[in-house]
Amino acid sequence: MRDSQDMDKGKNIDESQKSRGDKIKSAIGEIFIYAAIFILCLFLVPEFICCKYTVEGKSMESTLKNGQQLIGEKVSYVFTDPKRFDVVVVQPYEGQKENYYVKRVIGLPGETIEIKGSVLLIDGKVMNESHINETMWETTKYGPLTLGKDEYFVMGDNRNYSIDSREEGIGPIPKDRFIAKVFLRVWPLKKLSLIQ
Domain ranges of the chain: 1-44, 49-194
Active site residues: 59, 103
The arrangement of secondary structure in 49-194, i.e. its CATH architecture, is Ribbon (2.10)
Q: What is the mean predicted confidence (pLDDT) over 53-65? A: 86
User: Which residues fall within 8 angstroms of residue 175, CB to CB, at 6 or more apart?
Assistant: 77, 81, 82, 150, 151, 152
Under DSSP, the state recorded for 127 is P
Burial (CB < 10 A; 0-12, 13-18, 19+), residue 114, is middle
Pick the more confident residue, 93 or 11. 93
Q: What percent of the chain has pLDDT over 90?
A: 22
Looking at residue 43, its pLDDT comes to 62
Q: Are 88 and 105 in contact (CB under 8 A)?
A: yes
User: To which H or E segment does residue 126 belong?
Assistant: strand 125-126
Q: Convert the pLDDT of each residue in 101-151 to its tens digit.
A: 899 999 999 999 998 887 889 999 988 887 776 766 666 677 799 999 999
The pLDDT-based confidence of 153 (bands split at 50, 70, 90) is very high
